[in-house]
Protein backbone atom coordinates (compact mmCIF):
# COMPACT_ATOMS: atom_id res chain seq x y z
CA UNK A 1 0.00 0.00 0.00
CA UNK A 2 1.52 3.32 -1.09
CA UNK A 3 0.97 6.70 0.59
CA UNK A 4 1.34 10.29 -0.59
CA UNK A 5 0.93 13.41 1.50
CA UNK A 6 -0.83 16.15 -0.49
CA UNK A 7 0.47 19.50 0.75
CA UNK A 8 -1.12 22.86 -0.04
CA UNK A 9 1.16 25.82 0.60
CA UNK A 10 2.09 29.32 -0.55
CA UNK A 11 5.20 31.31 -1.47
CA UNK A 12 7.77 28.63 -0.67
CA UNK A 13 11.16 29.49 -2.10
CA UNK A 14 13.00 26.28 -1.15
CA UNK A 15 12.30 22.68 -0.20
CA UNK A 16 12.93 23.04 3.55
CA UNK A 17 9.19 22.76 4.03
CA UNK A 18 9.58 18.98 3.76
CA UNK A 19 12.02 19.00 6.67
CA UNK A 20 9.80 21.22 8.80
CA UNK A 21 6.80 18.96 8.20
CA UNK A 22 8.89 15.82 8.87
CA UNK A 23 7.68 14.15 5.69
CA UNK A 24 8.49 10.43 5.65
CA UNK A 25 6.69 9.28 2.49
CA UNK A 26 6.06 10.30 -1.11
CA UNK A 27 4.29 13.64 -1.48
CA UNK A 28 2.71 16.12 -3.86
CA UNK A 29 3.32 19.77 -3.00
CA UNK A 30 1.21 22.51 -4.61
CA UNK A 31 2.90 25.85 -3.98
CA UNK A 32 0.90 28.97 -4.86
CA UNK A 33 3.43 31.53 -6.10
CA UNK A 34 4.21 33.64 -9.17
CA UNK A 35 5.45 30.97 -11.56
CA UNK A 36 4.33 27.78 -13.27
CA UNK A 37 6.66 24.80 -13.01
CA UNK A 38 6.94 21.17 -11.92
CA UNK A 39 9.91 19.41 -10.35
CA UNK A 40 10.33 15.80 -9.23
CA UNK A 41 12.55 15.52 -6.16
CA UNK A 42 14.25 12.57 -4.51
CA UNK A 43 13.73 13.47 -0.87
CA UNK A 44 15.38 11.02 1.53
CA UNK A 45 14.48 8.13 -0.71
CA UNK A 46 10.93 9.35 -1.35
CA UNK A 47 9.50 10.85 -4.52
CA UNK A 48 8.09 14.36 -4.19
CA UNK A 49 6.28 16.11 -7.03
CA UNK A 50 6.65 19.86 -6.43
CA UNK A 51 4.19 22.01 -8.40
CA UNK A 52 4.52 25.78 -8.52
CA UNK A 53 1.31 27.44 -9.67
CA UNK A 54 -0.12 30.91 -10.17
CA UNK A 55 -3.63 29.63 -9.40
CA UNK A 56 -5.08 30.88 -6.13
CA UNK A 57 -7.40 29.17 -3.66
CA UNK A 58 -6.96 26.25 -1.28
CA UNK A 59 -9.62 24.12 -2.98
CA UNK A 60 -7.89 24.58 -6.35
CA UNK A 61 -4.58 23.50 -4.79
CA UNK A 62 -6.16 20.42 -3.20
CA UNK A 63 -7.80 19.44 -6.49
CA UNK A 64 -4.53 19.90 -8.38
CA UNK A 65 -2.75 17.68 -5.85
CA UNK A 66 -5.41 14.96 -6.17
CA UNK A 67 -5.21 15.04 -9.97
CA UNK A 68 -1.44 14.60 -9.82
CA UNK A 69 -1.38 11.97 -7.07
CA UNK A 70 -0.60 8.31 -7.86
CA UNK A 71 -0.60 6.52 -4.48
CA UNK A 72 -3.17 4.11 -3.08
CA UNK A 73 -3.78 6.33 -0.05
CA UNK A 74 -3.59 10.13 0.00
CA UNK A 75 -3.40 12.36 3.06
CA UNK A 76 -4.44 16.01 3.06
CA UNK A 77 -1.93 18.37 4.65
CA UNK A 78 -1.30 22.02 5.39
CA UNK A 79 2.18 23.49 5.67
CA UNK A 80 1.91 24.11 9.44
CA UNK A 81 1.89 20.40 10.33
CA UNK A 82 4.60 18.19 11.83
CA UNK A 83 4.07 14.49 11.17
CA UNK A 84 4.87 11.73 13.60
CA UNK A 85 7.67 9.41 12.50
CA UNK A 86 5.28 6.43 12.23
CA UNK A 87 2.38 8.13 10.43
CA UNK A 88 2.63 5.89 7.38
CA UNK A 89 2.41 2.75 9.54
CA UNK A 90 -0.61 4.12 11.41
CA UNK A 91 -2.47 5.05 8.24
CA UNK A 92 -1.66 1.82 6.38
CA UNK A 93 -2.70 -0.29 9.38
CA UNK A 94 -6.01 1.56 9.63
CA UNK A 95 -6.89 1.04 5.97
CA UNK A 96 -5.85 -2.62 6.16
CA UNK A 97 -8.13 -3.21 9.15
CA UNK A 98 -11.10 -0.97 8.41
CA UNK A 99 -13.35 -1.24 5.39
CA UNK A 100 -13.41 2.49 4.65
CA UNK A 101 -12.92 4.87 1.77
CA UNK A 102 -11.93 7.76 4.05
CA UNK A 103 -10.47 7.67 7.56
CA UNK A 104 -9.97 10.65 9.85
CA UNK A 105 -7.20 10.62 12.45
CA UNK A 106 -6.10 12.77 15.37
CA UNK A 107 -4.01 15.90 14.89
CA UNK A 108 -3.00 17.69 18.09
CA UNK A 109 -2.30 21.39 18.52
CA UNK A 110 1.20 22.55 19.47
CA UNK A 111 0.57 26.01 20.95
CA UNK A 112 -2.90 25.15 22.25
CA UNK A 113 -5.53 22.44 21.99
CA UNK A 114 -6.79 21.86 18.46
CA UNK A 115 -9.87 19.86 19.43
CA UNK A 116 -11.10 17.16 21.79
CA UNK A 117 -11.14 13.62 20.41
CA UNK A 118 -13.06 10.49 21.31
CA UNK A 119 -11.03 7.42 22.25
CA UNK A 120 -13.41 5.15 20.33
CA UNK A 121 -13.33 4.44 16.61
CA UNK A 122 -16.63 4.97 14.82
CA UNK A 123 -18.37 5.45 11.51
CA UNK A 124 -18.83 9.10 10.50
CA UNK A 125 -22.39 10.30 9.96
CA UNK A 126 -23.54 13.42 8.15
CA UNK A 127 -23.49 15.51 11.32
CA UNK A 128 -20.13 14.19 12.51
CA UNK A 129 -18.57 14.93 9.13
CA UNK A 130 -19.06 18.65 9.80
CA UNK A 131 -16.53 18.45 12.65
CA UNK A 132 -13.70 16.93 10.61
CA UNK A 133 -10.78 19.09 9.50
CA UNK A 134 -8.96 18.48 6.23
CA UNK A 135 -5.61 17.82 7.97
CA UNK A 136 -7.17 14.77 9.67
CA UNK A 137 -8.21 13.10 6.42
CA UNK A 138 -6.71 10.18 4.50
CA UNK A 139 -8.55 8.60 1.57
CA UNK A 140 -8.38 5.93 -1.12
CA UNK A 141 -7.40 7.79 -4.28
CA UNK A 142 -9.03 5.37 -6.71
CA UNK A 143 -12.39 5.74 -4.96
CA UNK A 144 -12.15 9.54 -5.23
CA UNK A 145 -11.34 9.31 -8.93
CA UNK A 146 -14.11 6.77 -9.62
CA UNK A 147 -16.70 8.96 -7.87
CA UNK A 148 -15.37 12.25 -9.30
CA UNK A 149 -14.84 13.71 -5.83
CA UNK A 150 -13.37 17.21 -5.89
CA UNK A 151 -13.23 20.21 -3.59
CA UNK A 152 -15.68 23.01 -4.33
CA UNK A 153 -13.48 25.79 -5.73
CA UNK A 154 -15.99 28.52 -4.88
CA UNK A 155 -15.30 28.13 -1.15
CA UNK A 156 -12.23 27.72 1.05
CA UNK A 157 -9.20 29.82 1.94
CA UNK A 158 -8.22 32.19 -0.87
CA UNK A 159 -11.85 32.84 -1.89
CA UNK A 160 -14.38 35.30 -0.53
CA UNK A 161 -15.97 32.31 1.27
CA UNK A 162 -13.05 31.23 3.39
CA UNK A 163 -14.09 27.95 4.98
CA UNK A 164 -15.99 24.67 4.83
CA UNK A 165 -14.49 23.06 1.72
CA UNK A 166 -13.60 19.81 3.51
CA UNK A 167 -17.06 19.46 5.06
CA UNK A 168 -18.80 20.01 1.73
CA UNK A 169 -16.47 17.43 0.20
CA UNK A 170 -17.21 14.85 2.93
CA UNK A 171 -20.96 15.30 2.53
CA UNK A 172 -20.51 14.79 -1.21
CA UNK A 173 -18.79 11.49 -0.36
CA UNK A 174 -21.58 10.43 2.00
CA UNK A 175 -24.21 11.28 -0.63
CA UNK A 176 -22.36 8.85 -2.92
CA UNK A 177 -22.50 6.12 -0.23
CA UNK A 178 -18.79 6.18 0.50
CA UNK A 179 -17.70 4.90 3.92
CA UNK A 180 -16.02 7.31 6.33
CA UNK A 181 -14.53 6.24 9.67
CA UNK A 182 -12.70 7.84 12.56
CA UNK A 183 -9.65 6.10 14.04
CA UNK A 184 -8.36 7.45 17.41
CA UNK A 185 -4.69 7.45 16.45
CA UNK A 186 -2.53 10.57 16.33
CA UNK A 187 -0.62 11.15 13.09
CA UNK A 188 0.65 14.73 13.44
CA UNK A 189 0.92 17.92 15.44
CA UNK A 190 -0.35 21.27 14.18
CA UNK A 191 0.79 24.84 14.75
CA UNK A 192 -2.39 26.70 15.67
CA UNK A 193 -1.20 30.26 15.02
CA UNK A 194 -3.33 33.38 15.30
CA UNK A 195 -5.84 33.37 12.46
CA UNK A 196 -7.81 36.63 12.76
CA UNK A 197 -10.67 35.53 10.48
CA UNK A 198 -11.29 32.54 12.75
CA UNK A 199 -11.01 34.30 16.11
CA UNK A 200 -12.85 37.43 15.01
CA UNK A 201 -16.26 36.04 14.24
CA UNK A 202 -17.43 39.02 12.21
CA UNK A 203 -19.86 39.38 9.30
CA UNK A 204 -17.24 38.11 6.84
CA UNK A 205 -16.90 34.93 8.91
CA UNK A 206 -20.67 34.38 8.95
CA UNK A 207 -21.04 35.09 5.24
CA UNK A 208 -18.43 32.38 4.62
CA UNK A 209 -20.21 30.04 7.00
CA UNK A 210 -23.49 30.48 5.14
CA UNK A 211 -21.80 29.81 1.80
CA UNK A 212 -20.19 26.67 3.27
CA UNK A 213 -23.58 25.39 4.40
CA UNK A 214 -25.00 26.08 0.92
CA UNK A 215 -22.10 24.17 -0.65
CA UNK A 216 -23.17 21.08 1.27
CA UNK A 217 -26.06 20.87 -1.21
CA UNK A 218 -28.72 19.79 1.25
CA UNK A 219 -32.36 20.94 1.28
CA UNK A 220 -31.89 21.81 4.95
CA UNK A 221 -29.40 24.67 4.51
CA UNK A 222 -31.57 27.24 6.31
CA UNK A 223 -32.13 24.80 9.17
CA UNK A 224 -28.39 24.19 9.44
CA UNK A 225 -27.80 27.93 9.60
CA UNK A 226 -30.41 28.38 12.34
CA UNK A 227 -29.22 25.50 14.50
CA UNK A 228 -25.59 26.57 14.21
CA UNK A 229 -26.42 30.15 15.16
CA UNK A 230 -28.30 29.00 18.27
CA UNK A 231 -25.95 26.21 19.30
CA UNK A 232 -22.76 28.28 18.90
CA UNK A 233 -24.11 31.57 20.27
CA UNK A 234 -21.66 31.58 23.20
CA UNK A 235 -18.75 31.72 20.74
CA UNK A 236 -19.81 34.93 19.01
CA UNK A 237 -22.30 36.78 21.24
CA UNK A 238 -19.68 39.38 22.23
CA UNK A 239 -19.09 40.27 18.55
CA UNK A 240 -22.44 40.10 16.81
CA UNK A 241 -26.12 39.46 17.58
CA UNK A 242 -27.77 36.16 16.71
CA UNK A 243 -30.07 37.96 14.27
CA UNK A 244 -27.14 39.60 12.45
CA UNK A 245 -25.25 36.29 12.41
CA UNK A 246 -28.19 34.48 10.79
CA UNK A 247 -28.72 37.36 8.36
CA UNK A 248 -25.05 37.24 7.30
CA UNK A 249 -25.15 33.45 6.85
CA UNK A 250 -28.30 33.70 4.72
CA UNK A 251 -26.53 36.35 2.63
CA UNK A 252 -23.58 33.98 2.17
CA UNK A 253 -25.95 31.22 1.09
CA UNK A 254 -27.52 33.48 -1.58
CA UNK A 255 -24.13 34.70 -2.78
CA UNK A 256 -22.87 31.12 -3.16
CA UNK A 257 -25.96 29.99 -5.09
CA UNK A 258 -25.62 33.02 -7.39
CA UNK A 259 -22.01 32.14 -8.14
CA UNK A 260 -23.03 28.56 -8.97
CA UNK A 261 -25.61 29.92 -11.42
CA UNK A 262 -23.02 32.15 -13.08
CA UNK A 263 -20.61 29.24 -13.48
CA UNK A 264 -23.32 27.00 -14.94
CA UNK A 265 -24.26 29.54 -17.67
pLDDT at 196 over 80: no
- Tens of pLDDT, residue by residue over 70-123, are 999 999 999 999 999 999 999 999 999 999 999 999 998 888 888 889 999 999
Residue ranges of domains in the chain: 3-193, 197-260
- Tens of pLDDT, residue by residue over 132-176, are 999 999 999 999 999 999 999 999 888 888 888 999 999 999 999
HSE-up (13 A, CA, CB side) for residue 151: 25
pLDDT at 254 over 90: yes
Secondary structure of residue 163 in the 3-state scheme: coil
Name the pairing type of β-strands 73-78 and 3-10: parallel
**pLDDT tier, 202 (very low <50, low <70, confident <90, very high otherwise):** confident
Record the pTM.
0.89
Name the pairing type of β-strands 26-32 and 102-109: unpaired
Residues 6+ apart with CB under 8 A from 204: 162, 197
What's 3-193's CATH class? alpha beta
SS (H, E, C) 210-257: HHHHHHCCCCCHHHHHHHHHHHCHHHHCCCCCHHHHHHHHHHHHHHHH
* CB-CB contact of 175 with 204 (8 Å): no
**pLDDT tier, 203 (very low <50, low <70, confident <90, very high otherwise):** confident
Which pLDDT score, from 0 to 100, does residue 200 have?
58
| Of 101, 99, 110, residue with least CA distance to 20 | 110
Amino acid sequence: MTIQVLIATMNQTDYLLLDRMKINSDAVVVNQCNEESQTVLNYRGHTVLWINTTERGLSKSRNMAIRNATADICMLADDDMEYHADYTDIVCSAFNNISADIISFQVCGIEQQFKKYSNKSCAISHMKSMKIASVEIAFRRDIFIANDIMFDEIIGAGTEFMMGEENAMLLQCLHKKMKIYYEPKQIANLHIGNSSWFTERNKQFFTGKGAAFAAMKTPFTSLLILQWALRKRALYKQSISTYEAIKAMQKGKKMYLQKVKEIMK
